[in-house]
Structure 1
Amino acid sequence: MSRRTRLARGCAAAVVFAFAGLVVLFAFLGTVEMETFPGLRENLAPVVVWMLVFAVLVTAGGLALTGPRSYAGWITAACIAALIVLRMWTLAPMLHCWSYDSVGRNDDGSYSCVNRGDMLP
């Protein structure tokens, strides 16, 4: 493989890894209000899970661009994977509310599942 081809693939992989990192960042931002403040919020946990699945696929694409012997590619993929695992660990307590449209955070930090349509008289 020529030097230009390796450079182009490396730059493309860097862009793909940066995009995967942004997807994970937006996954953190998607539910930060729901995790921080008590009260009833829209349930965005399923959307965040699908964003993380997309980030895994994009990271695999970046790793495929770098090649199987690239230490930088594997280290970057491992860092993104660690962020995805951290996000899933913080998201896990509210995943039992997957099929509900709202999540209420209680004062003790637990989550209660609510369908707002059920609250109408």
Structure 2
Amino acid sequence: DTYICQITETMAANPLGESLLSFSIDLYKQLISESGRSGNVFYSPFSISAALSMALAGARNTTAKQLTEVLHVNSDDIHKHFSSFFSQLSGFSPDVKLHVANRMYADRAFPVLDTYLS
């Protein structure tokens, strides 16, 4: 219970928390509507939002606007918020390590900006 309270407080104190909550609810509603309420839905909104924020780092124009709307974030701040969130999580229990991994693959038909690759 202590850790849950601390994590809840951390999410409330970090702008990422509010954004992640809004994104999670929107995504849940979408997944439930597509599943026809006939089965269980299992997903990680945190991991999905982290992966989409990676895409946002390289997105421009309409795509960037759509991603910021879906994620409920300001594109200039999201990576700072993720960094802050991870550093705060490590303070709850120093002996517990959280490993998160996301990978993106680009379709060769679409050029990736050099600024994103570096």
TM-score category, normalised to shorter length: 0.3 to 0.5
Larger radius of gyration: 1
Task: Provide TM-score, normalisation by structure 1.
Answer: 0.36
Could you state the TM-score of these two structures normalised by the residue count of structure 2?
0.37
Structure with more helix by fraction: 1
